[in-house]
Amino acid sequence: MLAMILKEFRQVRRDRRTLAMLIVMPVVLLLVFGYAASFDVDEIPTIVVGTQAEMVSERLPGIFRVETVDVAGDRDELESELIAGVAHVGFAAEGEEITALIDGSELFMAQAAVRVISGASGQQPGLSYEILFNPDLDTSAVLIPGLAGLIIVFVGTLVTSMSVVREREAGTLEQLAVMPLKPKDVFIGKIAPYFLIASLDIVLVLLIGTVLFDVPFNGSVVPLAIGAVMFLFVALGVGVLISSVSENQAQAIQLALMTTLPQIMLSGIIFPLSSMAPGVRWIGYLLPLTYFNLVAKGAMVRGAGLIDLAAPLGLLAVLGMGIFGLAVIRFARQLRPARARVSA
Amino acid sequence: MTWGARDVSVLYAGRPALVEVTVDLRPGQIAIVVGGDGAGKTTLCRSVVGLEAVAGGRVSRPARTCFQPETSGVWPELTVMENLEFVARGYALDRSHARSRIAELLEVTDLADARDRPGRQLSGGMRQKLGVAMAVLSEPELLVLDEPTTGLDPVSRLELWSFIDLSARQGRAVLVTSTYLDEATRADVVTVLDEGRVLTSGSVAEIISEMPGRIFVSDRKIGMQSWRRGASWRAWSETGDPIPGAREVEPDLTDVVTVAALAGEQR
C-alpha cells in the first residue's frame, strides 16, 4: 500500500499543472472569491430629477450615490436613464410628491433601496417607490439572462477546447494540416458546429426561462442577439486558445475550468460587482461574461436598446476581436509551423 | 525528379532531434526509414510534409504530398466511407472521380464490407489500411507513411505492404518509417536512424556490401563486439581478421545495422 501511495505522490508531483490546481488554485480561489462573495450593497448609483431635486438630493441617505441632479428632468427621462443602466435608483421630486423608481434588474441594490426607502417613508411624507422591470424582484428574472452566458462559456470554451485537443490526440489535426485547406477554412469548419449548437442552446435557455420561469423579455431581441454572437466569438476563441496550450483533454478541461470559475463568480451574475472589494472587482471588468450579462439583463429585463447597451457591446466587440484574432493566429501557426520548399 | 530531406537538422527545445539527415525520395520508389523509438522517424516525416520547422538543411516535396500520421489519421467518430469522402472533399476531388476512386480503394484494402463502420470500431490493421487509403485517395506524387505497420499482426502487415507496393508501382514516391528491420527488404532505399543521426543508408545490397570488417558466428560470446542472435552469437571483426573459434558468415541487414550502431558507439 505504501508503494502505491508513494507512486501516486510521485505522479502528482510530476504533473505540475494538477499540482498547481490542487495547491495554488484553492488558495487563489478562496482569496478572490472571499473578497468577491458579498451581497452587501454600500452604495447605489442614483439620479434625482424634478423641481425639488436639489433639496431631495441633499437629504438622501448615504447609500444613494447621487450621479446627476436635474431640476428640469421628469419621470420619463428618469426611466430612460434607468433603462440605459446609468443609475439603478431615480427620485422624481415634484412638489410634495417624491417617487423613487427602482431598477428591479439589479436585485440586491433594489432590495437595499426598498429597505431604506420603506424605513424613511415614515419621516418623509409623500415618499413612495415603484419597482421597474422586475416588480416582484424575482431571482430567476435576474439570473437566467446570465445563465445563458454561462452556457455559451460551457459550450464555447470547454467543448471547443476538448474537441480541438481530441483532434490533435487522434493525429487528425496533422491530416488537416497537410490537406490543401486554408487554416481559416479549417478553423471556421471546426468551430461552426459549436457556434450553431451554442446559439441553439441560448435560444432554448431563454425560451424556457421566459415560458417556465416568467423571465420578462421587455426589450428587443436585436441587442441580445448581437451581444450573444460577439460573446460566442470570445468563448470560442478562449476554447481554441486553451486547446493550443493543452497537450491532452484532461489539461484542456483543467484550463477551461480555471477560466470558467472566475467568470461565474466575478462577472456579476451571482454577486453584484459593486459589492465586491475593489481589489477583485477589476478582475470582473476584464471578464467577457460581465459584459454579456449586462447586455442580456439590459435587453431582456430593462428593455434596453442598442444605444443604451453601446458600452458593454463595444467592449464585447473589442474582447471578441482580440481573443478571436489571437485564437486564429495560434491555430494557423499550429497547422502551418514550417514552410518547406514545395517543388512542382 | 527527387524530393526529400537534404542535411536536415531539427531542434526540440534546443536539443537535436535530427542531425543532418538526408533521404532522397524518387517517383516509383519506396524509401524506408528504420529506427527504434526516439530515433527521429516521426520528426523526419513531419519535416518532409512541412509540419516541423527545420533548423538547418532543406526539405522539398511536390505540391501533391499526402501524409498518414503514426496514429493512422482516421477520424474515429466517422465511418470508413465518411472518412474517405471527407478527404476527397478536402482535396477537392471531382465528385464522380472520388466515388470511383473510393470504390476502388475499398476493394483493394478489403474494407468494402466495413464501409459503414466507425473508425473507432475498426481493428488496428483495418484502421491503418484506411489511413493509407485516405492518404493515396487524392493520387499524390509523394506519400509519407509514419509507422503504418507498428502494432499490426503479421497478416495485416503483409496486406498493408502489398498496398504500399501497389502505390509505388503506380509511380508514387513513398516514404515509410518502421521499427521493424525486416520490412527494410521491401524498400528500394533504406535509411537507418539512431538518435536523430543516419547510421547507414542505401539499398539493402549496398548497405551490406559497404559494411566494414567481417561477421563471425559462434556458440558462445566472443569479445565486446558480439551479440546474441537466436541460439548463437555473432561477432564483428572490425579489421576483418578471423576470430578464433568462430566461423565467418555472410552478413545480413540486421548484422549491418548492429555493426553500424557499434561503430557509432565507438565514435
- Chain B hits for A332, Cβ within 8 Å: none
The band of A339, judged by pLDDT with boundaries at 50, 70 and 90, is: very low
Residue in chain A closest to B83 (alpha carbons) equals A172
Say what the pLDDT of residue A9 is: 83
Mean pLDDT of A68-90: 89
Is pLDDT of A77 > 70? yes
* B75, containing H or E segment: none
- Fold (topology level) of A44-132: Rossmann fold (3.40.50)
| Contact between chains at B52 and A337 (C-beta distance less than 8 A) | yes
Q: How far is CA B46 from the centre of its chain?
A: 13
Residue A80 · residue A68 · CB < 8 Å: no
| Contact between chains at B3 and A171 (C-beta distance less than 8 A) | no
Say what the pLDDT of residue B136 is: 92
Provide the 3-class DSSP secondary structure of residue A209.
Answer: helix
The tens digit of pLDDT for each residue in A197-235 reads 988 988 888 888 888 888 888 889 999 999 999 999 999
pTM of the predicted structure, to 2 decimals: 0.78
* List of domains in chain B: 3-204 (3.40.50.300), 208-266 (no CATH)
Residue B128 · residue B162 · CB < 8 Å: no
Question: Residues B196, B197, B199, B202: is their CA dihedral positive or negative?
Answer: positive
Mutate to test the interface with A, among B9, B24, B54, B71 (most CBs of A within 10 A): B71
| Contact between chains at A339 and B70 (C-beta distance less than 8 A) | no
Is pLDDT of A36 > 80? no
| Contact between chains at A344 and B1 (C-beta distance less than 8 A) | no
Residue B74 · residue B122 · CB < 8 Å: yes
Say what the pLDDT of residue A340 is: 46
- Mean pLDDT by runs of 10 across the 267 residues of chain B is 90 90 95 91 94 91 92 92 95 93 92 94 92 92 93 87 92 94 91 91 91 90 85 90 88 88 75
Say what the pLDDT of residue A344 is: 40
Say what the pLDDT of residue B1 is: 63
Cβ-proximal residues to A159 (8 Å cutoff; 6+ apart), any chain: A194, A239
CA-to-CA dists, residue A3 to A8, A9, A11, A19, angstroms: 9, 10, 12, 20
Cβ-proximal residues to B36 (8 Å cutoff; 6+ apart), any chain: B179, B194
Range from A71-85, A172-186, A324-338, B240-254 carrying the lowest mean pLDDT: A324-338
The tens digit of pLDDT for each residue in A110-164 reads 999 999 888 877 777 788 889 999 889 888 888 888 888 888 888 888 888 888 8
| Contact between chains at A338 and B60 (C-beta distance less than 8 A) | no
**Count of all residues that appear for chain A in the document:** 344
Cβ-proximal residues to A179 (8 Å cutoff; 6+ apart), any chain: B87, B90, B91
Q: Where are the domains of chain A?
A: 2-36, 44-132, 140-335
B45 vs chain A: nearest CA distance in angstroms? 11
Helix ranges, A154-248 (H): 160-169, 172-178, 183-212, 221-244
- Chain A hits for B89, Cβ within 8 Å: none
- Chain B hits for A172, Cβ within 8 Å: 71, 73-75
Cβ-proximal residues to A325 (8 Å cutoff; 6+ apart), any chain: A237
| C-alpha to C-alpha distance for A220 and A237, rounded to whole angstroms | 27
| Contact between chains at A170 and B87 (C-beta distance less than 8 A) | no
Mean pLDDT of A6-33: 80
| C-alpha to C-alpha distance for A49 and A82, rounded to whole angstroms | 12
